[in-house]
Structures are given as C-alpha cells and as structure tokens.
Amino acid sequence: MRDRGKDRGVENTFLRHYLIVLLAAYALSAAGCIQGAPAITIEGQEAISSPVIVGAGSVFMRIVNAGSGDDTLLAARTDIPGTVVELHDFRNGRMVRTNSVRIPSKSTVRLRPAGPHIMIFKLPKDMKKGRGFRLTLMFEKSGEREISIAPAAVPSGPSKRVIN
Ligand SMILES: [Cu+2]
C-alpha cells in the first residue's frame, strides 16, 4: 500500500525547493537589471604622431557606452607588426601608463591629449607617408572591437599636436 501522506510530504518539500530556486533566479535577474550589459561604440578616431618621440603616435577617439553596465578598456593592439601599444592617462599634468580605462554605463569617454589615450610605439617609418591601420581594442565585458584609423588621420609632414 502507498503511504499517501508521505508522498504529499515529499511533494511539498519539492515544491518548497522549487519556489526557493525560482525566487533566487528572480532576485538574480532583478540584480541583472541594475547592472546590465555595456553597449560600446567607437567614433571620431584619429591618430597623431608624437611631437616628442620619433616613431610614436597617440590615438584619440570617443568611446560611447549606451548600455546599462560599465565596461573597462584593458588593452589595444595594431595590425602593424612590431608595434607596442600602451594605455596612457594624464595625472597631475603628466602622462602616465595605466592598466585600464573605465567606461561607465550611459556615458562617453573621450580619449584625448590631456586625458586617457592610446599610445603606439615602434611605428615603422612608412607611417609618415600616411598609411592607415587597424586598431583592436580589448574590453573587459564587450570583448574585442576593431576599428580603422584612416590614412588621412595619420599626419604626414611635421608633427601636429591637437589640444581639445
Ligand atoms: Cu601617451
């Protein structure tokens, strides 16, 4: 004979566990709404050769995060063999190397001369002729984003410095 009371007890325990799991999942998804996913787009990129270091250049752009979650720029690389790419920041009037650039949600971070920017070293000499290149940005959450730096954006002739 089946013990119906015992069966019901098992059922109730199962139901209680099911509800707890459901509530936990709901709580997690609600938390997810507060810190959602970033939505990164890049615009206005330009490269300027360094006025002080031969074979070096800075890259500026606007990094737009239209999403509801923060992101962080962690690194960058070019498709030009042998180049070294660093993230730089500007603190107390001096350019310093940095490991990351925060890109908060619902905001635009300007990579600019007197602020965070990307610096490329060991550029080949033919860059002066106005060669374009591709730059891959690595974000903590959004992964990799590849952008083109147009040939026209790489100055030929004497170095120029753009101050915003
Ligand atoms: Cu720099």
Extended strands (E) in 1-132: 40-49, 57-65, 71-78, 84-91, 94-98, 101-103, 107-111, 117-121
9 C-alpha vs ligand 1 centroid, how far in Å?
A: 68
CA of 89 relative to ligand 1 center, distance in Å = 7
What is the Å distance from ligand 1's center to 28 Cα? 41
Give distance in angstroms: CA of 59 to centre of ligand 1.
Answer: 9
Separation of CA 14 and ligand 1 centre (Å): 60
How far apart are alpha carbons 48 and 153 in whole angstroms?
7
User: By the 8 A CB rule, do 48 and 61 touch?
Assistant: no
Q: What pLDDT is stored for residue 4 in this prediction?
A: 59
What per-residue confidence (pLDDT) applies to 155?
A: 47
Return the pLDDT at 91.
93
pLDDT at 156: 43
pLDDT at 106: 97
Estimate to the nearest angstrom the gap between the alpha carbon of 51 and the chain centroid: 27
What does each C-alpha distance from 129 to 4, 16, 157 come to in angstroms?
87, 71, 9
The two beta strands, 94-98 and 107-111, are unpaired
Q: From the CA of 127, how far away is ligand 1's center (Å)?
A: 18
Q: What is the largest CA-CA distance in the chain?
A: 96
Distance 128 CA to ligand 1 centre (A): 19
- The whole-number pLDDT of residue 12 equals 74
* pLDDT by 10-residue block (mean), the chain, 164 residues: 60 72 67 78 92 88 97 97 96 95 98 95 79 94 95 49 41
Q: What is the pTM of this model?
A: 0.72
- Return the SS3 of 10: helix
Measured in angstroms, how far is the CA atom of residue 95 from the centroid of ligand 1? 6
Q: In this predicted structure, what is the pLDDT of residue 7?
A: 64
The Å distance, Cα 161 to ligand 1 centre, comes to: 12
Give the residue from 148, 115, 130 showing the smallest Cα distance to 49. Answer: 130
What is the full DSSP assignment across 14-26?
HHHHHHHHHHHHH
What does the domain layout of the chain look like in residue ranges? Answer: 1-34, 40-153
Homologous superfamily of domain range 40-153: PCu(A)C copper chaperone (2.60.40.1890)
* CA 142 / ligand 1 centre spacing (Å): 24
Beta bridge mates, 41? 64
